Amino acid sequence: MSSLMDIKLTKLGAFVLDLSDQVLYRDASEVAIEPKVMALLLYLYENKDRYVSIEELHQQVWSDRVVSDTAVRSAVKKLRLILGDNDIANARYVKSVSKRGYKLICEIEPVDALEAAAHPTKEANVATLPAEGLDSGTVGVSNDVSEALINETDKQPPRLEKSSGLAYKLLMFLVIFLSAIIGWTKYDVITKYVLDSQLANVGDLEPLTGFNGEKHDLSVSLDGRYVAFSGRTSIEEDRQVYLLDRQNNKIRQLTYHANNAARVQFAQNDKVIIYSDLSGGKTSVQLLPLTLSEPESGRVTLVEGVVAVGDPSRGRHASELLLPMLVDLESEMTLYALDLHTREYLRMLAPSDASEILYDVSLSPDKQKLALIKKIKGQFHILLFDLATKEETLIYSTKHKLYGVEWKNNTSLLVMAAGAFFQVDTLTGEQIRLIEDGDVVLRSFDTHDGADVVLLQKEFSRAKRLYIEHQLVPQLEVQQIINTAPQVVAMLYDELSDEHRWVMHLKDGITTIGRMTMSNREMDSYYSSDENVELLDVSYQAGGILFKEGPKLAFYSFEHRQVSYITSSMETSSDAAFSADGSAIYYGVNVAGEWEIQSYDIGSKISSLLLSGYRSIRPAGTGYIVAEPIDAQLFYLPTLTGPARALNHPIDFRYISRWYVRGEHIIWTAFDERNTYLHKLNWQTDSHLVYEERFFALYPTIAADISGDKVLSLSVQLNDTSIATIKIDH
């Protein structure tokens, strides 16, 4: 039996499978495939010399959860559709035999490289947006996070002017006329030309408000007259809920005492507005009755004490709300149906993968299907969930940020991504670009009828920012302010030189890690990637740079000038740190639902189990500081086999938080999107300091110097936002 590590590329009939990155290609083009279907294909490949029973697939491919035989057969069906293996009686790829199982029967042989076909074939379920529409974006945990990190995109080609409604009708008449003359075989080509000519630019949007203050999370009433949103006018304010009347263009403030209002949504036939609020690290869901002159006086708490909620959506009836929600730290982000009368919420859709994050949901007009935005192992996916059959269908995949999805009608979706707003046909996968967003300033949208689209437009792609160095004394003191270009989105100390900093630079969709000279801001580049990159650490003792590229943990060697990948794109890993002597990298990885710490030997490039039951680790003196997987509680281990001493403090595992061990101190950040909390704990004496600053004034992605006396943090200004609208004529 061949191992997945033996061969990088292997031919499967007309396809090529990249075993290291676990990507399927056809004619050198990547084929969209769901993670579980890919896992199924990989297992069939590993066992290609025999039939694999359905019971074995349950045990090996679906070991992380219990599913029905129907779910397994559904995955096999999806795989056959992707491979074009439609005739089961004369299977060409996946053969099934009753009571024996499934077997991969296509031609299988190693290949050296991908080869593009002279006439590329359009695969079913493959949806590829033109490169200029999705050329940048940064993964984040919230709108606030993505706002602080989002990079500029490539410049778009000269835009086509948006035609007027009359011109559009004339063009469509011309299509019909020409089609009758030329023949219906040319119809699709001409239609595509006409649709492309409708491409609008951000400058074509009709403003409903100016750029006064920060705005988030809009919702449009059923008749299109009202727009609800959350926002604030300064960084020191708390976000409140507002209502814009499009008829007179007046804005009314609905709340005055919210802590951090977000996730607004009209409900109950527009008689109420639902919003989330954050207080004390816990999230609640609130209801505002619009029938009262002072809606906040009649506020009702629907849900309280949960960890987080996502973007809500209208439900199957007027008093139902579809709500992605993380109830506690031991659960995953799950879709619930919330009844506004009884205040009860029932689980509607659970995650199918440990790394899966549900970002957005929208119910089709006929109430038969859900459109979902999910992030799975660093990739963003748009999927359809059939409420009757309970089956998911992949519509679109990208490594770039997706901001939202709404139904245009029962067969078409409107999608906002970093740098593009486009329409997707759910039956054919065909896409039409609608708005060109070269500066990446569009962040959110909603529509009441699929044609009248309301959008939030930032003034800048990225808000103005500075790097601030703080001295960790009892009262946090500013040591220096470092002004850099907006493209510098991460900064670490250089352990050998105070005249240099290690930085992460994003421009034109390319992330570059380099060493910057502070006197002239010139940078020596070491590694560049078009993937989403997270800079973790740099060690001269270890001889390289530690970072994440997408979901993969990676190490760049100064000596060899090349990158080694420590984990694959299919693994779920946590952060990582160098060992005390610099010979190894410690990292957490989720294996079959359980977390463990592994040690990667930099010299041999081999990983081995270091410690079970923990998610994150740092060397501390002759021992270790470790964090538990669920509640992130810290412990001190004098040895790997000795008893653990509880330190009685949790850290924060979320993407933008950081933690360091510097001598006798542990330094870490936590946040609630209202404030950032900077902690300094002496793990020997238990003395503890905590500093509190506004979220954007002290961004949680800090860097600590080698002594543990100073930290570098990003400070971001508000990005003023306007509300705009556009009509989609097609």
- Annotation: CATH topology of 9-116: Arc Repressor Mutant, subunit A (1.10.10)
- 314 closest CA partner among 352, 384, 371, 259: 371
**Mean pLDDT value of segment 239-254:** 95
Distance of CA 650 to the CA centre of its chain: 24
Instruction: Tell whether the model's pLDDT for residue 183 goes beyond 70.
Output: no
SS3 353: coil
122 confidence band (pLDDT: 50, 70, 90)? very low
Contacts of 702 (CB under 8 A, 6+ apart): 658, 667, 669, 678, 711, 712, 713
Q: Please state, in angstroms and rounded to a whole number, the distance separating the CA atoms of residues 138 and 398.
A: 12
Please give the pLDDT value at position 616: 97
582 confidence band (pLDDT: 50, 70, 90)? very high
Q: DSSP letters along 155-177, please?
A: PPPPPPPPPPHHHHHHHHHHHHH
SS3 434: strand
**Mean pLDDT value of segment 352-370:** 88
Q: 49: exposed, middle or buried (C-beta count within 10 Å: 0-12, 13-18, 19+)? A: exposed
- When mean pLDDT is compared over 145-159, 170-184, 202-216, 344-358, the highest value belongs to 202-216
pLDDT tens for residues 585-643? 999 999 888 999 999 999 999 999 999 999 999 999 999 999 999 889 999 999 998 89
> Tokens 């005492």 belong to which residue?
257
Instruction: Tell whether the model's pLDDT for residue 145 goes beyond 50.
Output: no
What is the pLDDT of the chain when averaged over all its residues? 85
Size of the chain in residues: 730
Distance of CA 508 to the CA centre of its chain: 19
28 confidence band (pLDDT: 50, 70, 90)? confident
Say if CB 137 and CB 41 are below 8 A apart.
no
User: What b/e sequence results for 631-647 when a residue is b if at least 16 CB atoms lie within 10 Å of its CB, and e otherwise?
Assistant: ebebbbbeeeeeebeeb
Please give the pLDDT value at position 561: 93
Q: Please state, in angstroms and rounded to a whole number, the distance separating the CA atoms of residues 221 and 227.
A: 6
CATH of domain 208-309: 2.120.10.30
696 confidence band (pLDDT: 50, 70, 90)? confident
- 654 closest CA partner among 333, 409, 364: 333
Span of 77-91, 155-169, 352-366, 427-441 with lowest mean pLDDT: 155-169
SS3 178: helix
121 confidence band (pLDDT: 50, 70, 90)? very low
9-116 shares its CATH topology with 208-309: no
Q: Where are the domains of the chain?
A: 9-116, 208-309
485 confidence band (pLDDT: 50, 70, 90)? confident
Instruction: Tell whether the model's pLDDT for residue 552 goes beyond 60.
Output: yes
- Dihedral in degrees, nearest 10, Cα atoms 443, 448, 451, 457: -20
pTM: 0.65
Q: 87: exposed, middle or buried (C-beta count within 10 Å: 0-12, 13-18, 19+)? A: exposed
117 confidence band (pLDDT: 50, 70, 90)? very low
pLDDT tens for residues 300-359? 999 999 988 999 999 999 999 999 998 887 778 899 999 999 999 999 988 876 678 899
Calculate ∠ Cα 395-397-398, nearest 5°: 150
User: What b/e sequence results for 98-110 when a residue is b if at least 16 CB atoms lie within 10 Å of its CB, and e otherwise?
Assistant: eeebbbbebeeee
Please give the pLDDT value at position 172: 58
Instruction: Tell whether the model's pLDDT for residue 652 goes beyond 50.
Output: yes
Long-range CB pairs of 425-428 (<8 Å, 24+ gap) are: 426/369, 426/371, 426/384, 426/395
Please give the pLDDT value at position 239: 93
CA of 610: how far to CAs of 56, 82, 448, 565, in Å?
Answer: 29, 40, 54, 19
Q: DSSP letters along 669-708, please?
A: EEE-SSEEEEEEEETTT--EEEEEEETTTS-S--EE-TTS
DSSP for residue 52: B
Please give the pLDDT value at position 66: 66
| 686: phi then psi, degrees, rounded to nearest 5 | 70, 10
**Mean pLDDT value of segment 38-63:** 90
Which is more confident, 198 or 322?
322
Instruction: Tell whether the model's pLDDT for residue 192 goes beyond 50.
Output: no
198 confidence band (pLDDT: 50, 70, 90)? low
| 44: phi then psi, degrees, rounded to nearest 5 | -65, -35
Q: Please state, in angstroms and rounded to a whole number, the distance separating the CA atoms of residues 560 and 567.
A: 19
Span of 14-23, 112-121, 126-135, 163-172 with lowest mean pLDDT: 126-135
Q: 55: exposed, middle or buried (C-beta count within 10 Å: 0-12, 13-18, 19+)? A: exposed
Say if CB 54 and CB 72 are below 8 A apart.
yes
Q: How many CB atoms lie within 10 A of CB 346?
A: 9
Instruction: Tell whether the model's pLDDT for residue 147 goes beyond 50.
Output: no
Please give the pLDDT value at position 136: 33
- When mean pLDDT is compared over 25-34, 412-421, 570-579, 658-667, the highest value belongs to 658-667
Please give the pLDDT value at position 200: 87
- 404 closest CA partner among 437, 351, 447, 436: 447
Instruction: Tell whether the model's pLDDT for residue 49 goes beyond 50.
Output: yes
Rg from Cα positions in the chain: 26
Which is more confident, 567 or 7?
567
Which is more confident, 118 or 588?
588
Q: How many CB atoms lie within 10 A of CB 389?
A: 12
Please give the pLDDT value at position 7: 54
Please give the pLDDT value at position 120: 36
The one-letter code for the residue type at 571 is: E
Q: Please state, in angstroms and rounded to a whole number, the distance separating the CA atoms of residues 601 and 409.
A: 54
Q: What are the structure tokens assigned to 243, written together?
A: 């209502």
